[in-house]
Amino acid sequence: MSKLPVIIDCDPGHDDAIALVLAFASEKLDIRAVTVTGGNQTLVKTLNNARKVLSYIGKRPRLAAGADKPMFRNLEVAEAVHGNSGLDGPALPETDYKEEPIPAIDLMRQIIMESALPVTLVPTGPLTNLGILLTAYPEVKKNIGGVSLMGGGIETGNWSAAAEFNILVDPEAAEIVFTSGLPITMCPLDVTHKALLLPGELEALRKHGGKVSVMVAELVDFYYRYHVGQGFAGAPLHDPCAVAWLIAPEIFTTKDYHISVETRGKYTTGMTFADRRPWTTAKPNATVCIDIDRVAFISLVIEACKSFG
Ligand code: BDR
Ligand code: CA
């Protein structure tokens, strides 16, 4: 079977970094490029983190820098979760691996238009790059196979009571994506809060001792501290869920919903509002992952780490 061509659009970010590890370990994905957006930290920092993580895991895909701020708003970063560097924890070596001198949306357009197979987009940060891509180059839609994204929440938010971080940072871009007509699979907080790496599993990973296993363990050491404070029993691996959907969809339970993105709410800006009326006539625009086989998911992540040696 041919591999699935994908472009990963990320803002590393601890869980973005783990999503990259999971993706690059998979035989099922053909990663045509990694593009970066400002999000968890400023673009300068998320790009630097992407360069270092990819280089450390021995992968040098085509890389391009995207937006340094949301389409119509100022950037809000998640320093409390990801630290001053956006990837606090492991000391990753400097690298000469660099982004290409082409904006992310132009690299995405080139790859999508030239691909013999439809390309799947995997955004794990704010949807700014996708929003700009679909607005500037609507012709790409005909060769995008789908979008597998981490973002939103049906029952809860995290960055506000109603909204999840990736969507709240750039709700206008998210609205463009959700109204694009593209096939969307969404991993909201409802599923990612169940995708927990538990302390015992973290220690097993550290014990494995491989360089990627140790990097991921050190990432989780930092990232987990914030989540312990919020009462989580483990570290929620949000972004790897969007990759896992492409590798092992059978571990997820899904529901199809029509999702609207709130862009102007007094209390609810950034909310991904699902029409859950059984009698609704609104056509679903997203397959929403609502549950996950946690053990199977964590074993995918751990095996991915171990596969690097
Ligand atoms: C999302 O926000 C970021 O902090 C994480 O990287 C993830 O993409 C979770 O709300
Ligand atoms: Ca992210």
Give the per-residue pLDDT at 242.
Answer: 99
> Please, where are the H alpha helices in 30-153?
43-56, 79-82, 104-114, 128-136
- Supply the DSSP string of 292-306, one letter for each residue: E-HHHHHHHHHHHHH
- The CA 152 to ligand 2 mean position distance, Å, reads 12
Q: Which residues line ligand 1 (CB under 6 A)?
A: 13, 15-16, 40, 78, 81, 124-125, 150, 158, 164-166, 238-239
Atom of ligand 1 nearest to the CA of 165: 10
- How far is CA 81 from each of CA 32, 133, 144, 211, rounded to the nearest angstrom? 29, 28, 32, 23
Determine the distance separating the centroid of ligand 1 and the alpha carbon of 165, expressed in angstroms: 6
What pLDDT does 1 receive? 79
One digit per residue, the tens of pLDDT, for the chain of length 309 reads 799 999 999 999 999 999 999 999 999 999 999 999 999 999 999 999 999 999 999 999 999 999 999 999 999 999 999 999 999 999 999 999 999 999 999 999 999 999 999 999 999 999 999 999 999 999 999 999 999 999 999 999 999 999 999 999 999 999 999 999 999 999 999 999 999 999 999 999 999 999 999 999 999 999 999 999 999 999 999 999 999 999 999 999 999 999 999 999 999 999 999 999 999 999 999 999 999 999 999 999 999 999 999
Q: To test the ligand 1 pocket, which listed residue (122, 158, 168, 239) has its Cβ within 8 A of the most ligand atoms?
A: 239
Pocket test for ligand 1, best of 10, 11, 75 (most atoms within 8 A of CB): 11
Architecture per CATH, domain 4-306, reads as Alpha-Beta Complex (3.90)
What is the Å distance from ligand 2's center to 251 Cα? 21
Ligand nearest to the CA of 195: 1
Enumerate the active-site residues: 238
**Alpha-carbon gap, residue 197 to 121, rounded angstroms:** 25
CA nearest ligand 1 atom 10, residue: 165
279 Cα–ligand 1 center, Å: 33
Question: Which of ligand 1's atoms lies nearest the C-alpha of 125?
Answer: 8
Which residue has its alpha carbon closest to ligand 1 atom 2?
165
Token pair in block for residue 79? 């320093």
H/E stretch holding 21: helix 14-25
Give the CA radius of gyration of the chain. Answer: 18
Q: What does residue 269 show for φ and ψ, rounded to 5 degrees?
A: -55, 135
* Ligand 1 centroid to residue 93 C-alpha, Å: 24
| Both structure tokens of 16 | 């973005």
Give distance in angstroms: CA of 3 to centre of ligand 2.
24
The residue extents of the domains of the chain are 4-306
Best residue among 9, 21, 40, 192 to mutate for probing ligand 1, ranked by most atoms within 8 Å of CB: 40
Q: Which atom of ligand 1 is nearest to the CA of 15?
A: 6
Under DSSP, the state recorded for 140 is G
Per the listing, tokens 């790897």 go with 240
